[in-house]
DNA sequence: ATTATATTGAGAAAGATTCGCATTTGTATC
DNA sequence: GATACAAATGCGAATCTTTCTCAATATAAT
């Protein structure tokens, strides 16, 4: 039951929130826009307004349940937060999104921040390229 | 004369383009939104439409004269391309934008791309933090 | 079951960027 | 320098994503 997850996140266990959380947890696709989630809600019969999807995703983000990315200008992409931080590499041809972690890069960023006198709070790293599948085509 | 720069970039030397390029080249502020450029045009008396500013900046980007960034969702930021690649670190309090380059990070990204079978085309790295000035306040 | 409060849905509104099109400008030619 | 034609401009309308407003509804505690 996801109600527990919501409650412990300080959120009332409403139908729209349960529906959306369950969907995020069960979807094999990890990176989705608000519109993607909205369409999934429509298809599963459950009536959830688009505004509610946006609100809930934003609340989930504040609660740490979800992470928001800005891969392209123009719209946000969300993914269920599974704990471990990672960065992304994505295909400019087909839009595929892959993930990676690199401890060297992580450390280097902290050194850079320190050198410039910044207290680092976050970072966003996206590598753009052509994926293996799209190279032979 | 900037006409040369425009011509060699394959662009007709029109008044709006000259005005905008000259402004970018003379401004001490390196990172600006289309709106910023538009306002500067208004102040300098020259009448340039907002749509034209957007068009010209996009053309400059295609011509390699300018680089576009997406520091925050919701609007693009442009900077004159001075040749050497660099990444950014910016203050979440005051919005200051600083720059840096790190060869280790650059190389690591290529290794990651190779490891995943991608042909890397580009990347975007932004470190968010609190700048020195904003820490004692 | 009742109440007090938080949440929802629908459409309006906002903010950034692009489009459509009549008018103007740049440049190549005479 | 005048002429001609394609390219570029400016304006407002249109688009797209996201947020807001607010009356209606659902939730959690009593
Ligand atoms: Mn991810
Ligand atoms: Mn820069
Ligand atoms: Zn691909
Ligand atoms: Zn600051």
Residue A1 pLDDT: 66
Which residues on chain A place their C-beta less than 8 Å from a C-beta of chain B?
Answer: 70, 72-73, 76, 89, 91-92, 98, 100, 102, 104-105, 108-109, 112-113, 116-132, 135
* Domain total in chain B: 2
Q: Which of B51, B80, B109 is the last residue of a domain?
A: B80
DSSP chain A: -THHHHHHTT----HHHHHHHHHHHH-S---B-HHHHHHHHHHTS----HHHHHHHHHHHHHTTSEEEEEEETTEEEEEE--SS--EEEEETTT--EEEE--HHHHHHHHHHHHHTT-EEEEEEEEEEEE-HHHH--
Residue A137 pLDDT: 75
| A13 and A75 within one domain | yes
CATH for A105: 3.30.1490.190
pLDDT, tens only, B3-21: 888 888 889 999 999 999 9
| B120 and B67 within one domain | no
Residue A46 pLDDT: 84
B32 has a pLDDT exceeding 90: yes
> What's the rounded mean pLDDT across residues A68-87?
95
| A76 and A124 within one domain | no
Give me the domain span that covers residue B55.
Answer: 3-80
The answer to whether the C-beta of A64 is closer than 7 A to strand C is: no
Name the average pLDDT for chain A: 95
Q: Which of A39, A61, A80 is the last residue of a domain?
A: A80
| A91 and A75 within one domain | no
Count of CB pairs separated by less than 8 Å, A with B: 113
pLDDT, tens only, B61-120: 999 999 999 999 999 999 999 999 999 999 999 999 999 999 999 999 999 999 999 999
The C-alpha angle with vertex B130 and arms to A124 and B125, in degrees rounded to 5, equals 20
Model pTM? 0.92
A118 has a pLDDT exceeding 80: yes
pLDDT, tens only, A10-69: 899 999 999 999 999 999 999 999 999 999 999 998 889 999 999 999 999 999 999 999
B137 has a pLDDT exceeding 80: no
Answer with the residue of higher pLDDT: A7 or A108: A108
A5 has a pLDDT exceeding 90: no
| B71 and B11 within one domain | yes
Q: How far apart are the CA of A28 and the centre of ligand 3, in A?
A: 18
> What's the rounded mean pLDDT across residues B116-126?
97
Hey, what are A70's tokens?
């800005």
Residue A125 pLDDT: 98
By Cβ distance, the residue of A73, A76, A129 closest to B118 is: A129
Residue B136 pLDDT: 85
Interchain CB distance below 8 Å, A91 and B121? no
Q: How far apart are the CA of A35 and the centre of ligand 3, in A?
A: 22
| A97 and A34 within one domain | no
Q: How far apart are the CA of A25 and the centre of ligand 1, in A?
A: 14
| B94 and B70 within one domain | no
CATH for A12: 1.10.10.10
| B14 and B75 within one domain | yes
| A49 and A75 within one domain | yes
Q: Which of A34, A63, A80 is the last residue of a domain?
A: A80
| A74 and A17 within one domain | yes
| B118 and B71 within one domain | no
| A112 and A55 within one domain | no
């Amino acid at each position: 039951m996801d109600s527990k997850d919501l409650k412990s996140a300080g959120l009332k266990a409403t139908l729209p929130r349960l529906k959306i959380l369950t969907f995020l947890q069960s979807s094999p696709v990890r990176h989705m826009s608000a519109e993607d989630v909205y369409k999934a809600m429509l298809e599963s019969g459950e009536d959830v307004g688009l505004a509610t999807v946006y609100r809930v995703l934003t609340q989930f983000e504040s609660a740490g349940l979800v992470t928001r990315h800005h891969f392209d200008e123009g719209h946000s992409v969300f993914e269920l937060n599974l704990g471990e931080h990672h960065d992304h590499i994505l295909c400019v041809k087909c839009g595929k999104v892959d993930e990676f972690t690199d401890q060297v890069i992580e450390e280097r960023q902290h050194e850079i921040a320190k050198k410039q006198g910044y207290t680092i709070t976050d970072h966003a790293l996206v590598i753009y390229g052509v994926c293996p599948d799209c190279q032979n085509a």
